[in-house]
Structure 1
Amino acid sequence: MTKILPDAGWQHAQGLKKVLALLQDAHGGPRYVGGAVRDTLLGLPVADVDIATALLPLEVIDRLESGGIKAIPTGIEHGTITAAVDGKNYEITTLRRDVATDGRRATVAFATDWREDAARRDFTINALYADPATGEIFDYFDGSGDLQKRRLRFIGDAHQRIAEDFLRILRYFRFLARYGSGTLDPEAIDACAAGAHGLTALSRERIAQELTRILALKDPVVSVGLMVTHGIFTPFLPELSATAADDLQRLVEREQKFAQPVSLPARFLALVTSDAIAVDKVTARLKLSNKLREGCARRLQAPTPNAGNIRAIAYGTDIDTARDVVMLFAADCDVQNCLARLNGWESPSLSIKGGALIEMGLPTGPLVAQTLQAIETTWVEEEFPDKERQYALARQAVNTALSAIKNA
């Protein structure tokens, strides 16, 4: 029985229709491929639409440009051209077959055989094609059956597919976390474990990208637990905590229980040692973004949170950092109260400025900044009292400073 792609809003974009009309050929294309087909079958939102074609890359460029569509040669050596139209990008890739692989990259030859193109893809659920005109789905390796069973399988021999590109190990666990809630494929898990040593051949950027994608998923606990058990982290993350799987599970359970958003810095810190120097080294080695590196550092520098100090932590950092510190480090009995004290709270500003201290009699110079800092410290300790109390603290601090000058 012919399977038909369900109708979805993304299919009606006028820019997409224009691109497809320009790519008609004698080999049954163009066709939607990969994630757009997979996620539409699952009833999930579609972010990116990829198109496969038998046309050669230069022919794709010529056709797009002849139709007034911008063609970007984003990966022309591997057959990929990006069509930019109506504010959206569509990746168009020529059918391919692998000529040679070395575990990091492949040398490809362009082809016109759809099954041959499907056979070089990683997982059965990613090798689904659909005819834009009729909706007919072309499924060469029972990917739709695997989708129904929520089963993740490599196409062909798992060991061979991993040897072609070791990044497929991390991709396997990412897709497993998102789509693979059914029966595990023992062959795939064994192949990932056997090939984990090959991850050292990959660039740190490629590893970091996949790792952060895994951690950003709603619930990566099972996948990460399997990765820990089978030594997947060993080649690139020796700083992995001995309790990483349990710590991540605890964090995810708290996120779900208290309806908190996923935080990448918190997820990352759940995996690694809590030593700030070691964390800084690993984030630098993996070339993680400065934002993520700095976020990890702020969270590790904060004191152990409780209801009494959580607003002070937020004042000294930011609300997101304080919330993550709670999720990571607060005692179970403190989590709810800490989050309640952060909910809807806006960090206040100290009303007292240096000029006011000078008007109170404090001489100009470094002592003004020192006294202002002392006032702020007390104000934070007292839970941010109002302006009247701030001025009382200021007068007290100025008197103390003046007394110290007099007695010096």
Structure 2
Amino acid sequence: MILPNAAWRNDPDLVRLTEALGEGDGLVRYVGGAVRDTLLDLPVSDLDLATSLMPEDASARIRAAGFKAVPTGIAHGTITAVLANGPVEVTTLRRDVSTDGRRATVAFTDDWREDAARRDFTINALSAAPSTGEIFDYFGGVADVGIGLVRFIGDPLARIAEDHLRILRFFRFHARFGRGAMDEAALSACAARAKDLMALSRERIAQELLKLLGVTDPTPTIAIMVDRAILTPVLPEIDRGGVARLATLVAREGPAGGDPVRRLAALLPPDPGLADQVGARLKLSNAQRKRLALAAEPGDPGAPRTLAYAIGLSAARDRLLLRSADAAADLAELDHWSPPRLPLGGGDLVAMGLTAGPVVAGTLRAIERRWVDEGFPDADRVRAIAIEEVARALR
């Protein structure tokens, strides 16, 4: 089978790079996602090359072709070639020497099949010759791409034992590329070894989970994960109620898709404290943790603009999508609107007769509350409110 002649294959820099790496002698191929996604007529975002050259030779050839060569993963044979249209990873063929479920010790090889065999799924083990487009398929990946089947290479239990993260990757790849029922052998193996996820760093779990939640509609896949207790060892808070909330959220978000952090909030009970605990456990960034906790606030979110003024536009959109009875109408109120600034400060109140100090701060808060409650009126109305509140403070 021949790889379709997608536009990315005709990038002059890429052609020059593959020629320098010996494509005419069969020393370099496109590998992995670029081949899979081109077969599916999807955009190719990450381009990887594999080569039978040793890393030092590959690096020298990259530089000789006029490109910067960055040793981004030299211990594992990866050199990044910096092209005008973006980086391209060039990795020497490898075989696993030992694995412990979290990382692998590798040795270099010149055997293309051996390198392909260490990859996770058949659809990710495809490679193609740059000039001819000939596809090399050692494990039936082309057929699996065609029918939307995500299938481990070889024994699923053995592949999971090599890298426990493959449990979550299986579900993510099914959510993105799968059609129809999941491969039963893979699903059973993931369910049997779900506790292995506890050995992984929480950062790796979070990264993979957020990628899964970022697909067009992760709900059916998440539902299966809940039914088979895949997430229970690391995220016991996620249950069928969370699946139902996620389904509602996805329907509200529309075809543009949704944000993974917001979708994670939907999976959790409406409890800000618990959401913050989950964010801490997953070692999310401070900004992500704050967003997760704000989104988890239960109850009616109230007036959209009042909410956005209090917690910010992004957090307000999260809360409205999750909690509003009429999310579409409420979100429309935030279109082309930014939270304004109170057109008055403490100095204005001092000029009106207040003494600098706590009374100014308290009066300013009272003015701001009334301004927000009245829907952010103009400066004239704010001054009228201020006159009333200053008079009250001076009594």
TM-score of the two chains, using structure 2 as the length reference: 0.95
SS of the residue aligned with 2:95? strand
User: Helix, strand or coil for the counterpart of 2:333?
Assistant: helix
Q: CA deviation at 1:301?
A: 4.8
The offset of 1:185, in angstroms, is 0.8
**Structure 2 match to 1:326:** 320
Instruction: State how far apart, in whole Å, the 1-side matches of 2:323 and 2:239 are.
Output: 15
* 1:239-283 residue CA offsets vs partner (Å, 9 max, x unmatched): 324512111111111112xx5641232111112233222222221
Match runs of 1:252-331 below 5 Å: 252-256=250-254, 261-301=257-297, 304-306=300-302, 309-331=303-325
More off after superposition, 204-213 vs 67-76: 67-76
Closer/same/farther in 2, CA of residues 166 and 312 from structure 1, 3 Å limit: same
* Structure 1 counterpart SS, 2:105: strand
> AA paired with 2:9?
Q
Residue equivalent to 2:135: 137
Partner residue of 1:353 out of 320, 325, 345? 345
Task: Give deviations 1:323-365, integer Å, cap 9, x for gaps.
Answer: 110111122xx22321221222222222122232223222222
AA matched with 1:383: G
Query: Percent of aligned positions with the same letter in both sequences?
Result: 52
Of 219, 223, 226, 2:224 maps to: 226
1-structure distance, mates of 2:309, 2:56 = 56
Cross-structure match for 1:194: 192
Provide the C-alpha distance between the structure 2 equivalents of 1:205 and 1:359, rounded to a whole number of angstroms. 53
The aligned amino acid for 2:358 is P
Q: Is the 8 A contact 1:124 1:143 kept in 2?
A: yes
DSSP 3-state at the match of 1:342? coil
Q: Is the 8 A contact 1:33 1:52 kept in 2?
A: yes
Taking the aligned partners of 1:302 and 1:12, their CA distance within structure 2 comes to 52
Contact kept? 1:6, 1:41, Cα under 8 Å: yes
Structure 2 residues without counterparts, runs of 5 or longer: none
In structure 1, distance between residues paired with 2:19 and 2:214: 36
Q: What is the alpha-carbon root mean square deviation over aligned residues? A: 1.8
Report the Cα distance in structure 2 between the residues aligned to 1:351 and 1:161, rounded to whole angstroms.
62
Rounded Cα–Cα distance in structure 2 between residues aligned with 1:264 and 1:351: 36
Q: Separation in 2 of the partners of 1:22 and 1:102?
A: 36
1:241–1:273 Cα contact (<8 Å) kept? no
Residue number in structure 1 paired with 2:149: 151
Residue 246 of structure 2 contacts residue 267 of structure 2 at CA under 8 Å; is this kept in 1? Answer: yes
Matched, 1:173 2:157: no
1:406: which partner in 2?
none
CA shift for structure 1 position 233: 0.8
For 1:29 and 1:225, how far apart are their aligned partners in 2? 44
- Once residues 226 and 369 of structure 2 are traced to their aligned partners in structure 1, the CA distance between those partners, rounded to angstroms, is 43
Q: Give a deviation string over 1:36-86, Cα, whole Å, max 9, x none.
A: 111111111111110011111121122222333222222222221111132
Answer yes or no: is the 8 Å Cα contact 1:34–1:127 preserved in 2: yes
Tell me which of 322, 328, 336 is aligned to 1:336: 328
Structure 1 residue runs of 5 or longer lacking an equivalent are 404-408
Task: Choose which of 74, 90, 93 in structure 2 pairs with 1:92.
Answer: 90
Q: Which runs of 4+ in 1 moved over 3 A?
A: 300-303
Partner of 2:99: 101
Q: Deviations over 1:293-316 (max 9, x none)?
A: 12113333586224xx21100011
CA distance in 1, matches of 2:348, 2:201: 56
**Would the alpha carbon gap of residues 25 and 181 (structure 1) be closer, same or farther in structure 2, given more than 3 Å must change?**
closer
What is the total number of aligned residue pairs between the two structures? 395
The AA in structure 2 aligned to 1:121 is R
CA contact (8 A) 1:153 1:185 kept: yes
**Cα-to-partner distance string for 1:208-252 (whole Å, 9 max, x where unaligned):** 110111112221111111111111111211232451211111111
